[in-house]
Amino acid sequence: MSSISERFRDFKAGKATLFWSCAGCIIATMVVGFTWGGWVTGGSAEQRADKAAQQAVAELAADICFKRYLAAPDVRANLTALNEESSYRRDGLLEEGGWVTLADRADPIDGAADLCADRLAEVDLSTLPATPVADAGAVVPATEPATAVQ
C-alpha cells in the first residue's frame, strides 16, 4: 500500500479529467463572482444606471420644487393648506399645482412630488420670514456695471 504523497506524485490526469477540472473551476469562479463578488450582467448594470438617473432627476426636481414653493408670495397659506392634507394626498397637490413639472415637460417628474412633500412637511412655519425669500435661481440685474479688478 502506497502513501497519499506517493499516489499524488504518480497521478497522471487524462484529457477528460483536465477538461472537466477547468470547466468546474470556471463555473465555481462565476458562481462566486456573481453571488459574492458583486459582478452583474450588462442588463442589470443598465437597469441600475437608469434607476439611479431617474432618482437623481427626481431629487433635483424636488429641490427645485422646494425652493420655488418657499419663494412663492403666499407661502404661509400654501404650506398651511399642504400640511392640513393627508400625507398620501400632498404629492397629488404638488403635481396638480405644477410644482414638480419643469418648463419643457408636460408631465410631472416621477417621484419628485413625494420627495418635495416630505421636505415641505418638515418646514416650521415659525422659521419662515415675513416676506418670501427671492428665488435663488432668479437673475437679479446689476445696478452698476461690472468693473474688472486689477
The answer to whether residue 142 sits within a structural domain is no
Residues 48 and 23 in one domain: no
**What would the pLDDT profile of 98-127 be if each residue is shown by its tens digit?**
888 887 888 888 999 999 999 998 888 777
Is the pLDDT score of 141 beyond 70? no
Instruction: Please state the domain count of the chain.
Output: 2
- Whether 54 and 121 share a structural domain: yes
**Cα–Cα distance for residue pair 114/116, rounded to 1 Å:** 6
Backbone angles phi, psi at 79, to 5 degrees: -70, -35
pLDDT of residue 132: 55
In a domain, 11, yes or no: yes
Question: Is the Cβ–Cβ distance between 91 and 113 less than 8 Å?
Answer: yes
26 shares a domain with 8: yes
| Assigned C-alpha cell, 61 | 426636481
The identity of residue 110, as a single letter, is D
Residue 40, pLDDT above cutoff 80? yes
Q: What is the pTM of this model?
A: 0.65
Opening angle at CA 122, ends 117 and 124, nearest 5: 125
The answer to whether residues 87 and 122 belong to one domain is yes
Residue 147 lies in a domain: no
pLDDT at 73: 87
As a 3-state breakdown, the chain gives helix, strand, coil percent values, each rounded to 5, of 60, 0, 40
Task: Specify which of 21-25, 73-77, 95-99 reaches the highest per-range mean pLDDT.
Answer: 21-25
> Would you state the cell numbers that stand for residue 126, as one nine-digit string?
415659525
Domain extent, residue 21, equals: 4-35
